Structure 1
Amino acid sequence: MAKGFAIHNAITDHGGVIPSTQAISSQMGNLFVRAGDGHMCPKCRCWSVVIKSHDHVIFDGKPVAYVGDKLSCGATIQPQQSHVVGESGSPYSRSSDNTNNSSFVPTLQYGQRFLLQDELTGEPLSNICYEIEKGGNIIHGKTDENGFTDLITSENKEEIQIHIIYEEHDHG
């Protein structure tokens, strides 16, 4: 059965974001996360690394991480809106034609968290108020401690604008 590969900035069920530590192996521009790649888990407040789950696909000497793989803190890699899939086992594995998909729930096609950074220093803009203009609506928010916005989702591809608000606002 095909499983989604974890790609650059893969999200976890603990609210973390795992960057890829390599810049060579990609599919359609999506860099692969591999075993040993890590991040600072916001829930556990510790450095957490992807645990090796297989030896099926190796890039630069390390196995590629899959959606559903665990991290050392206990977090699980979550599916992303943009992902790459591949076989995770035997070349003879296949899906059954009579698979029951009655519990299938369609997901949104597009979703993204944005990292807001200082242009001069590259430092994340943490706890900063912002406004996102999307489809004629304005979404107010405040970046988290790592400089990320809330997840912005849409059923269609659309252009957005992000405005950083420097005055004191109460946006959450």
Structure 2
Amino acid sequence: MAKGFAIHNAPTNHGGIIPSTQVRSSQQGNLFVRAGDGHFCPKCKCWSTVIKSHDHVIMDGKPVAYAGDKLTCGATIQPQQSHVVGDSGGGNFDSNTTSFRTSNTKQTENFIKDDKSLHGIVYQLIDEHTNQPISKMYYQLIDNEGNIIEGETDENGHTKEITTGSSPQEIQFLTYDLSQPLPPLD
């Protein structure tokens, strides 16, 4: 018969909540509470850990806890309304027939989204005395690879956008004060 696995923030009959220390793998987005995970028991006023009850389902090197498993203070892990269930295996456990299913839980994507968004930047030049945008100001934007984008700021003081691909990078922003004489060329 399928039993409910203890998942992250599993309640105990002593009023405690057991956070999962498992972070790498999960079943349908739920992190499992495993043997050795612990919490401070509010009833017993002590640190209490989950006692290993089987070797049937192992996650990240530790057995997964079931609803009904005990903690070192004597508390019992309670079933949760949304939980993952699986066959506990018993004496004739066959890893090829173990099945997981969820109850009262929507299917969720359990992989981290691969963020491939493009990074980019637009500068705006503002006159520090009038707080107004500076239009028609010549500028150069230079990326890490030496690519140069040059132009004049628009009527709102904005530069053209420079995109840096899927990873952020440092951009050099150059303007020239043309109201002053340029330094001599050596």
TM-score (normalised: structure 1): 0.52
One-letter amino acid of the counterpart of residue 59, structure 1: M
Which structure's CA Rg is the greater one?
Answer: 2
Which whole-Å CA distance do the structure 1 matches of 2:70 and 2:10 have between them? 12
3-state SS of 1:30 partner: coil
Q: State the Cα distance separating 1:70 from its structure 2 match.
A: 0.1
Which whole-Å CA distance do the structure 2 matches of 1:92 and 1:36 have between them? 25
Superposition pairs for residues 29-108 of structure 1, below 5 Å? 29-90=29-90
Give aligned-pair identity as a percent.
80
Aligned twin of 1:26: 26
Which whole-Å CA distance do the structure 1 matches of 2:13 and 2:38 have between them? 14
Q: State the Cα distance separating 1:83 from its structure 2 match.
A: 0.1
Aligned twin of 2:175: none
Q: State the Cα distance separating 1:89 from its structure 2 match.
A: 1.9
Aligned twin of 1:133: none
Between 68-77 and 20-29, report the one with greater CA deviation: 20-29
Any stretches of 5+ residues in structure 1 without a counterpart? Answer: 94-108, 111-172
Instruction: Deviation per CA, 1:73-129: give whole Å up to 9, x if none.
Output: 000000101100001124868xxxxxxxxxxxxxxx79xxxxxxxxxxxxxxxxxxx
Aligned twin of 2:177: none
Which whole-Å CA distance do the structure 2 matches of 1:26 and 1:68 have between them? 20
Which whole-Å CA distance do the structure 1 matches of 2:72 and 2:80 have between them? 20
CA RMSD of aligned residues (A): 1.8
Which whole-Å CA distance do the structure 1 matches of 2:49 and 2:90 have between them? 26
Any stretches of 5+ residues in structure 2 without a counterpart? Answer: 94-103, 106-186
Instruction: Deviation per CA, 1:119-150: give whole Å up to 9, x if none.
Output: xxxxxxxxxxxxxxxxxxxxxxxxxxxxxxxx
Which whole-Å CA distance do the structure 1 matches of 2:91 and 2:85 have between them? 14
